[in-house]
A = this chain, B = another copy of it.
Amino acid sequence: MKVRRSERLIDMTYYLMEHPHTLVTLTSFSKKYGAAKSSISEDLTIVKRTFSERGIGILETLPGAAGGVRFIPKMPETDALTIVEALCEQLSESNRLLPGGYVYLSDMLGTPDILRKVGLMIASKFYDKQVDAVMTVATKGVPIAQAVAYNLNVPFVIVRRDSKITEGSTVSVNYVSGSSERIEKMELSKRSLKRGARVLIVDDFMKGGGTVNGMKGLIEEFEAELAGTAVFAETRHSGPRVVEDYISLLSVDSVNTAERTISVTPGTYFDK
């Protein structure tokens, strides 16, 4: 069946978006649409230019007989800043203030539109870091890990504080919860990470950094490698921070429970 260019462009865009970071050969597109490779090649030139001009991402071209294209979702930093500024405003709403100076953000982490953008933003910083897996800790980190994993097209693994029979054998580490100074335990199913895998740690909120540090310990136990650390929000912490190298999208600079104000600014993501 012969397919017209307009139809090919629509279906190709759909297919590439559903298969990020995946090599798609000219041959497979050529067969799929019953079109000559030269026509497919022209189509992809148009797709590549549009993806670039519209800030959708990079269409990498791999030449040669086994060649093809690979779509890498990537958001321009100016777009990211606009989105983060809107998120700062949303997170500063005074009705988010909880007893103890905590900030409610479960609604934001349950909104597809926000997760899509957050996932794309974080993935845009790590697209060329050869990430093999995203790691997070249950429960609140899961949505962000999934959103990032979608864009990098790698699996995500969930570290738990409580073991479940449905996880099979696990590896556990003890860590110091930075904020409370308590010793806690976290564990991960033994089959979930391969030795040498490059792991991106993702979490919703970082205070002292104890949880992130625990995950780093787990990565070591698995003889895997740390590819980076990214959090949705961090809060300015009085004590020493145990994590040095990370990116945050938002920074909760101060919480005033008396005046019921929360001050939020863009995080280290935008540091030069």
Contact = CB atoms under 8 A, between A and B. Distances in A.
Interface of A: 5-7, 9-11, 13-14, 17-19, 46-47, 49-51, 53-54, 56, 98-100, 102-107, 110-113, 115-116, 138-140, 142-143, 146-147, 149-150, 153-158, 160, 165-168, 189, 191-192, 205
B6 A56 contact: no
Main secondary structure of the interface of A (DSSP, over half): helix
Contact of A98 (B9, B140, B150, B168): B168
A143 B119 CA distance: 14
B189 A106 contact: yes
B165 A98 contact: yes
Copies of this protein in the assembly total 2
B156 A110 contact: yes
A214 B106 CA distance: 21
A158 B106 contact: yes
A242 B105 CA distance: 34
Given A112-B154, A112-B155, A160-B139, A191 B13 contact: no
B142 A139 contact: yes
Contacts of A155: 107, 110-112
A167 B140 CA distance: 10
27 contacts: A5-B6, A7-B49, A10-B47, A10-B50, A10-B51, A13-B13, A14-B56, A98-B168, A99-B165, A104-B166, A104-B167, A104-B191, A105-B166, A106-B158, A106-B189, A106-B192, A110-B157, A111-B155, A112-B146, A112-B149, A112-B153, A139-B139, A139-B158, A139-B160, A142-B142, A142-B143, A143-B146
Given A19-B113, A106-B167, A143-B146, 6 more contacts: A98-B165, A102-B166, A103-B166, A104-B191, A110-B192, A139-B139
A87 to B, nearest CB: 15
